[in-house]
Amino acid sequence: MILLATGVVLLGVFALCFRRERRRFSNAVLLLLGILCVGAALIGSGAEGAGPEMLVFFALALSPLLVLVLAGLLMLNGVVMLRREGVRPANLLSFGLGAALLVPYALLVMAVIAEWMVLGVLLLAVVLVAAYLGFVLVAFLLYSVVYGWVTRTDDAVAIVVHGSGLLGDRVPPLLASRLDRAVQIWRADRAHGPAPLLVTSGGKGSDEKVAESTAMAAYLIEHGVRDDEIVREDRSTTTRENLLFSRELLARQGIDSRILLVTSNFHVLRTALLARSVGIDAQAVGAPTARYYLPSAVLREYVGILVEHKVINAVICGLLVAAPVALAIFGEAN
């Protein structure tokens, strides 16, 4: 009952925080903690019979195998990414995570063979840190879906489309998907009220013939948007600059709220969090992405979340590493 009550309280706090400000990562933590507590309580309440006990047993027994399968799938996706997108650090993320998931198994084998307690302590530290990072990843994935479900698109005054790179002067599929999503929303809003202002946001990269915003605007015009309904932001090179420079342009138009940010579905939550951090009253929506591209893209966003909260993450990981070391030292002393 205590666990169930704790879960209900956590979900209640999540609901209040979500209603007040949905662009907080703490909401993701509250939501997942609440679900885990309620789920554990419900499983525990039904664990008197053989059925639930066997279910829990098989879940625990199969989890190491499932992690191995996940590692293999991530490494396979990494190979696909390298073949289709080229050899770049960002494209190695899924392969690297898959390889990292094999580290605890390697440590376990070494600990058993060598019978060396230090390896056992190291294994426990790795497992604890991996469990924490896994929790944050699941919280990020879960809340990304929840946030995407509830974001409204029918009351925007302005729609900002974030750039993602060009092929020379052409709009590639990833960026075209964002622009198509923006046009879809723009047409729907225009059908029942004033058409939102469209902002194409993206500067010119070293390998691009024109600024992203220019190519994006041309794409929008080809799909039925008038030139005077588009504002071009052609200085930005990062998501943060997309937000800051677009805010300047919209402020000149007298717009400072009811702004909708259109990006790829994997980038929605971090874009919303960044918008809040720079003080922009805006929500984000996502456009579809090729399935093979999603694992690496999601991992990049996840790493971005960890880096943006690097102090608290470093402290927690440090404590998780220190705990088994302290226990081992205390055990030897006694």
Q: What is the pTM of this model?
A: 0.84
Q: Could you give the CA distance from residue 23 to residue 269 in angstroms, rounded to a whole number?
A: 8
279: left (phi over 0), alpha (psi -120 to 50) or beta: left
Query: Taking residues 123-129, what's their average pLDDT?
Result: 81
pLDDT at 262: 97
pLDDT at 296: 84
Query: Taking residues 182-206, what's their average pLDDT?
Result: 92
Return the higher-pLDDT residue of 84 and 62. Answer: 84
Task: Please give the single-letter amino acid code of residue 31.
Answer: L
Q: Could you give the CA distance from residue 34 to residue 38 in angstroms, rounded to a whole number?
A: 6
Return the higher-pLDDT residue of 259 and 168. Answer: 259
Query: Taking residues 197-219, what's their average pLDDT?
Result: 93
pLDDT at 197: 96
pLDDT in tens, 47-70: 544 444 554 555 555 556 667 777
pLDDT at 180: 97
**Among 34-43, 86-95, 207-216, 309-318, which stretch is predicted with the lowest mean pLDDT?**
86-95
Structure tokens, 217: 């605007």
Percent of the residues in the chain that have a pLDDT greater than 90, as a whole number? 52
Query: Taking residues 165-194, what's their average pLDDT?
Result: 92
Q: What is the mean pLDDT of the chain?
A: 86
Return the higher-pLDDT residue of 191 and 262. Answer: 262
Question: Closest by alpha carbon to 81, among 307, 304, 300, 238?
Answer: 300
Residue 187 pLDDT level (bands cut at 50, 70, 90): very high
Structure tokens, 235: 């200085």
Q: Could you give the CA distance from residue 210 to residue 170 in angstroms, rounded to a whole number?
A: 9
pLDDT in tens, 292-308: 888 888 888 998 999 99
pLDDT at 160: 97
Query: Taking residues 196-224, what's their average pLDDT?
Result: 93
pLDDT in tens, 245-291: 999 999 999 999 999 999 999 999 999 999 999 999 999 999 999 88
pLDDT at 51: 46
Residue 35 has pLDDT above 80, yes or no: yes
